[in-house]
Structure 1
Amino acid sequence: MTTAPATAAPHPLDASFTAAWLSTQELPPVEYVVPGVIPEGLTLLVAAPKIGKSWMVFGIALAAAEGGNVFGAIPVDRRPVLYLALEDGPRRLQSRMRMLGVDHGPENLTLQPRLDTPAVAVIQAFLDRHGPEKPLIILDTLGKVRGTYTGNDAYGNDYTQMSALKELVDDVPGSSLVVVHHSSKAEKADFLDSVSGTQGLAGAADSVLVIKRDRGTGDAALHVTSRDADEGEYAVTMTDGQWQLDGDGLRDAAQRATQRRQTSGLGDVSQEVLQAVQDAPDGGMTPKTVAALIPTLTNDGASTYLSRHAEAGRIRKVGRGKYAPIPVFEPFEVFEPEDEE
């Protein structure tokens, strides 16, 4: 009887490499499902219940399967999509698809409203079938597959569950998994803290998107943080299930988000003063130039408003008696739609 040769144990540094070796490698660029917003890997999309998360991901799924525009402004590449719509049935999905203006659904989009086998097995099967095509998978929602945990290490449990999902797409370069999840009930200063559960969920994800929308209004903010995409806040709107950027691209939407945040709760004259500064040419505005634009204001009144806005951080003082806008976050140029020739 022969015995199998002993296998040498891996050395602790077998997975290491030098910076010199890395600098010579030709590595593929990051694949984006939605340029500037959703890169490859695991993305956690979070919002309060009934805010429109499912509408958003269904719109993304339809656009990605057809090679259309996401948010009405961001062109995306065509790819196979699996939408695990675990909170919806065929009737509701059909109704929503028609409300989104799609009469003939794309063949490239697979819809699955229930799981007869574990979610990990379903996702793996779709990746095995479409791996070279850089597929997108949407799991809506995490709560349908997460289960209940009563142990002591809730963080470790959450991190392990999310890491198991992340490993699926990490093993298939260019693939993406978007997991929809509910936010916590309490309002948080840091949008990442609004993710329901422990920080293990957000910590394991490559990207986190958080939708903030007041009920009764279509205006919302989409917060993005990622290991690969630029961090930003974008103004978006939802009308009859359609999510749109508030602007012609991410740069416009980032500026609109800043403007919305700055003008929230301000009176009409205060908003006019703020808008005058935001529209100011290079060099800023003085109380005199602001008062000339707003007939109801005196120079002293304009000076008071400008000082208050500067103290609140809505504008900045750039010289004696001069005020200018706060610089707005600028997304990478590559994330903006190209001008047509």
Structure 2
Amino acid sequence: MVSGAWLDAQVFPELEWQVEGILPEGFGLLVAPPKAGKSWMVAGIGLACASGGFAFGKIPVKPRPVLYLALEDGHRRLQSRFRTLMEGNRIPADIHLVTQAQPFEVPSMIDEFIGIHTGAKPLVILDTLGKVKPPKSAGQESYSADYAIGSRLKSVIDSEPGASLVAVHHTRKAESVDFVDAVSGTQGIAGSADYVLVLSRKRKETAAVLAVTGRDVPENEYALTMDDGKWLLDGMDLLDAAAAVERRRDSASLGDRSMDVLAHVAANGATTPADIASKFGMDNKVASNLLSRLHESGRIAKPKRGTYDRISTGGESGESGESDE
């Protein structure tokens, strides 16, 4: 037991990021459906951290030792994957690989690795969590079994400040509104983790979204693209990638003409139906309806009758229900 005075007097180090904004210290999960590219993603992160390069093509990372427990791959497949990701450069020496291990051996392996690299804030990748989950004991509840393995891994990685362990896991078959509920198994697995990353990608598409949440992590979603196995941030930085998610949603919910009009207003500011009609070769009434719907959905502002503008340049007036005909 400690007192409030003791707690108030403490000075704690800042949260350590393996990949800024996405992968913090502690125990976490990367979750996605089968064949969505999870192994390619963690391989790219591991190689970037081992060499001190760029994760997701844009985020600079510090060099650190990496333990990659690739328990579903062999050395030949890993070599091919790594060479593709390294684009002709040598595989960094500071990524260490284990391809075979019994479930009960893995926590000890991780403990020994971080003990060897004390102070270096290592990254450990476990691909996959299912390979180390022990069978449930007779009479044991599923929740307690899931929480037990998560807590065991968390306690190991928490013994080294600044270290991170990300375990690859799969999603449930049933869809869920809350992306954390997509984690397969009971809530014991997600509940034991410090952070959860959920990767969503439709089959045969290169675009994806990485949702991030955690105890000490700002919750957000980032747009990604996949190019020949390489996961890249869809934007100049995290802020731009987060905005790209919204742009994609707008594109999915709006027609092509509405997207063109929205882009025009965003680029040019104050706009009238006549401007849109002239720009895109449409009837004034059609242009008025498009602008009105964009305003009613909160995507553009209407500072005065007959004029629309970017949201950031002015508040909406009380005339939103009026017609421009």
TM-score (structure 1 length as normaliser):
0.84
Task: Give 1:114's aligned residue.
Answer: 100
Closer, same or farther in 2 for the Cα pair 1:115/1:102, shift >3 Å? farther
Q: Distance in 1 between matches of 2:98 and 2:275?
A: 60
Supply the AA of the counterpart residue of 1:303.
S
Q: Distance in 2 between matches of 1:197 and 1:80?
A: 31
Task: Give 1:99's aligned residue.
Answer: 84
Task: Give 1:17's aligned residue.
Answer: 3
CA deviation after TM superposition for structure 1 residue 151, in Å: 4.6
Closer, same or farther in 2 for the Cα pair 1:191/1:279, shift >3 Å? farther
Supply the AA of the counterpart residue of 2:245.
A
Closer, same or farther in 2 for the Cα pair 1:308/1:36, shift >3 Å? same
Is 1:206 the equivalent of 2:187?
no
Q: Distance in 2 between matches of 1:21 and 1:287?
A: 64
CA deviation after TM superposition for structure 1 residue 22, in Å: 3.1
Is 1:194 the equivalent of 2:182?
yes
Is 1:309 the equivalent of 2:294?
yes
Task: Name structure 1 gaps, 5 residues minimum.
Answer: 1-13, 328-341
CA deviation after TM superposition for structure 1 residue 247, in Å: 1.2
Q: Distance in 2 between matches of 1:139 and 1:326?
A: 44
Structure 1 residues 32-51: aligned runs within 5 Å: 32-51=17-36
Closer, same or farther in 2 for the Cα pair 1:38/1:326, shift >3 Å? farther
Give the secondary-structure state (helix, strand or coil) at the position aligned to 1:59: helix
Pick one of 133, 139, 143 that aligns with 1:146: 133
Q: C-alpha deviations, 1:236-275, integer Å up to 9, x for none?
A: 0011111100111101111111101111153321221232
- Does the Cα contact within 8 Å between 1:84 and 1:138 map onto a contact in 2? yes
Supply the AA of the counterpart residue of 1:236.
L
Give the secondary-structure state (helix, strand or coil) at the position aligned to 1:119: helix
- Does the Cα contact within 8 Å between 2:209 and 2:221 map onto a contact in 1? yes
Q: C-alpha deviations, 1:192-228, integer Å up to 9, x for none?
A: 1111111221121111111111111111111111222
Give the secondary-structure state (helix, strand or coil) at the position aligned to 2:69: strand
Between stretches 137-146 and 155-164, larger displacement belongs to 155-164
Closer, same or farther in 2 for the Cα pair 1:152/1:286, shift >3 Å? farther
- Does the Cα contact within 8 Å between 1:42 and 1:206 map onto a contact in 2? yes
Is 1:185 the equivalent of 2:173?
yes
Task: Name structure 2 gaps, 5 residues minimum.
Answer: 314-325
Q: C-alpha deviations, 1:294-322, integer Å up to 9, x for none?
A: 32233432232233334445x15454453
Structure 1 residues 174-253: aligned runs within 5 Å: 174-253=162-241
CA deviation after TM superposition for structure 1 residue 285, in Å: 4.7
Task: Give 1:335's aligned residue.
Answer: none
Is 1:88 the equivalent of 2:76?
no
Closer, same or farther in 2 for the Cα pair 1:285/1:166, shift >3 Å? farther
Give the secondary-structure state (helix, strand or coil) at the position aligned to 1:224: strand
Task: Give 1:125's aligned residue.
Answer: 112
TM-score (structure 2 length as normaliser):
0.87
- Does the Cα contact within 8 Å between 1:156 and 1:200 map onto a contact in 2? yes
CA deviation after TM superposition for structure 1 residue 288, in Å: 4.3
Task: Give 1:52's aligned residue.
Answer: 37
Task: Give 1:4's aligned residue.
Answer: none
Q: Distance in 1 between matches of 2:188 and 2:300?
A: 38
Closer, same or farther in 2 for the Cα pair 1:219/1:167, shift >3 Å? same
- Does the Cα contact within 8 Å between 1:306 and 1:323 map onto a contact in 2? no
Task: Give 2:322's aligned residue.
Answer: none
Q: Distance in 2 between matches of 1:161 and 1:326?
A: 48
Give the secondary-structure state (helix, strand or coil) at the position aligned to 1:221: strand
- Does the Cα contact within 8 Å between 1:219 and 1:236 map onto a contact in 2? yes
Task: Give 1:76's aligned residue.
Answer: 61
Q: Distance in 2 between matches of 1:196 and 1:274?
A: 39
Report the RMSD for the aligned CA atoms in angstroms: 2.2
CA deviation after TM superposition for structure 1 residue 160, in Å: 2.0
Q: Distance in 2 between matches of 1:227 and 1:280?
A: 41
Q: Distance in 2 between matches of 1:289 and 1:25?
A: 61
Supply the AA of the counterpart residue of 1:198.
T
Percent identity over paired residues: 48
Q: Distance in 2 between matches of 1:153 and 1:316?
A: 52
Task: Give 2:52's aligned residue.
Answer: 67
- Does the Cα contact within 8 Å between 1:44 and 1:208 map onto a contact in 2? yes
Closer, same or farther in 2 for the Cα pair 1:85/1:280, shift >3 Å? farther
Give the secondary-structure state (helix, strand or coil) at the position aligned to 2:119: helix
CA deviation after TM superposition for structure 1 residue 154, in Å: 1.8
Closer, same or farther in 2 for the Cα pair 1:170/1:266, shift >3 Å? same
